[in-house]
Amino acid sequence: MSFREIDDVLWESMEPSLPSQKPHTGRPRANMRKLMNGILYVVMTGCTWKDVPRRYGSKSTVHKFHLYLCEHGIYQKIFNELLNKGYDLNKIDLSHCFTDTKDVPAKKGGISATMDTKK
C-alpha cells in the first residue's frame, strides 16, 4: 500500500483540533504536521514505531505525540470534524448502512433476536 502525506486541505481541517504549536513552558513543539504524517505512515504501512522515517521526527517523538492524541481524545475530535465536513459536502451517505448481527453480543442460552418467541 502506498503512503500519501497529509495535503493542505486535510491539514486545514485537522489543525484546529490539535494542541497549540507553542507550549506554555519548555521547548517548542516539533512540527505537528510532520508528526501526524509519521503517525499515518505507521498506520498505513504497518511498520513499527522504530521504522518511522526520520523526516517525520524521531521514533519516540512521533510515538509520544500519538499517545498524547489518544489520551486527550484528539483523534475523536479530528474524526468528528472530518465526518461533519463530509456530511456538509455530501461526500458521506449513510442511508444504506447495515450492521452484521454477529457483532451484537447475546447472552448464552438467550433467545436470538431473529427467533420467534413462544407465547
* 59-69 confidence digits (pLDDT tens): 999 999 999 99
Considering the domain boundaries, does residue 24 fall inside one? no
Considering the domain boundaries, does residue 106 fall inside one? no
Is pLDDT at 88 greater than 70 in this prediction? yes
Considering the domain boundaries, does residue 101 fall inside one? no
- Burial (CB < 10 A; 0-12, 13-18, 19+), residue 108, is exposed
Considering the domain boundaries, does residue 76 fall inside one? yes
Percent residues over pLDDT 70 in the chain? 84
Contact 33, 11 (CB under 8 A): yes
Considering the domain boundaries, does residue 47 fall inside one? yes
Considering the domain boundaries, does residue 71 fall inside one? yes
Q: Which residues of 21-55 are buried (b: 16+ CB within 10 A; e: fewer)?
A: eeeeeeeeebebbbbbbbbebbeeeeeeeeebeee
Q: Find the largest Cα–Cα distance for the chain.
A: 70
Q: Per the structure, how many domains does the chain have?
A: 1
Considering the domain boundaries, does residue 77 fall inside one? yes
Q: Which domain holds residue 79?
A: 8-14+29-95
Considering the domain boundaries, does residue 110 fall inside one? no
Global pTM? 0.71
**Confidence class for position 110, pLDDT limits 50, 70, 90:** low
Can you state the angle between helices 74-88 and 59-71, rounded to 10 degrees? 70
Contact 83, 76 (CB under 8 A): no
